[in-house]
Amino acid sequence: MKTKVKIVDLFAGVGGLSYAFAQDLDFEIIAANEILPNMAKAYKLNHPSVKVYCKDIVQFGLNDLNKDFSISKGSIDIVIGGPPCQAYSTVGKRLIDDPRGKLFQEYFRILKELDPSIFIFENVKGLISMGDGFLLPTIIDLFSTLGYTTQFKTLNAADYGAPQMRERVIIVGSKRGIKYKFPNQTHGINADLFNNKTSPHLTLKEALSDLPLNPNEDVNFYMTEPQNEFQKLMRMNASDKITEHTVPKNNPTLIKIMELLPEGGTPKDLPIDIRPSSGFGNSYSRLWWNRPSTTLTRNFSTPSSARCIHPLVARPLSTREGARIQGFPDNYIFCGSRSEKNLQIGNAVSPFLSKALLSSIKKCIF
């Protein structure tokens, strides 16, 4: 019998970064660590075979795995994780000695303890410019001290089939003769597929058009049959009823703002007497129906905090629509309040990016 590739998932969230690895029979996620209880609960519900540790990363490591699985250094093949990023003002030459780099230190510590052949480290695109541009090379140099050949690339989830423009920095380190190469783009103008015929970026219409436009507790059935391969994939193994397809009740003023916004519109397109006097650059803004979504945040049901107004109706995105935009299937479970569920979705790595990384990992180890 073929031995499965063993994985440990750090800063696991609800499992976006490791999503594809959990679905592949050649891989086995041994353990995951996540500090937030409802995120850890959701991870466990979606991946019942995985041992989930809900604790501070400082308290997690080889001792836990050795105690529960008799795992020793070198027994884990891959470590996956995306430590939350802190906005450093300066960066010392040795990040491991900088108390502000605590979460990076813990990722480094666990790499040192487990000594996997490959690691995948994910973070926001802003990592490139943090610390006046010194943080990213410092992290890479730090990982290199453990013997890894380390490389990074900014990947956009839309370029791999997600209906969302979502850029993330991916750092991959490998050792023991493994030569890693980042996945080729599959969607968008730079993709080179099917004898140079490109597969365009997926749009919101393609992602959401089978869901009811006016969701509530009584309207919980799909509006149409699946209209395309993406919708078929999202509805695979799901029931006939839609879950999490509800939105907050908004006040009359906000509803009026949303009604007056054109597709893709911003507060600049509103009459002055109703134009909001505060907000961010993308606040109170409507999405486009025939384009991918902009980057989803944890506030995708809060128009005052993000561009999240549905292209066709006067409401923000529902929790299920946010999950669809990220690429989570309709049977994926989220836990807690609406804001907690939206946090779980908005903070995640798109499963479509996970699929691309899985494909590239398989090419270099099999």
Q: Which amino acid is at 141?
A: D
Distances 94 to 82, 121, 189, 234 between C-alpha atoms, Å: 20, 19, 40, 44
Q: Which of 211, 164, 206, 214 is nearest to 315 (CA)?
A: 214
Distance CA 103, CA 81 (A): 11
Contact 166, 154 (CB under 8 A): no
Residues 6+ apart with CB under 8 A from 77: 5, 6, 7, 116, 117, 118, 365
Distance (Å, whole) CA 275 – CA 305 = 15
Residue reference for tokens 């609406």? 338
Q: Is 54 a catalytic residue?
A: no
Rounded to whole angstroms, the Cα distance separating 357 from 366 reads 14
Catalytic pick among 85, 308, 335, 364? 85
- φ, ψ for residue 149, nearest 5 deg: -85, 115
CB atoms within 10 A of CB 341: 24
**Pick from 340, 350, 316: which is nearest to 202 by CA?**
350
Query: Catalytic residue numbers?
Result: 85
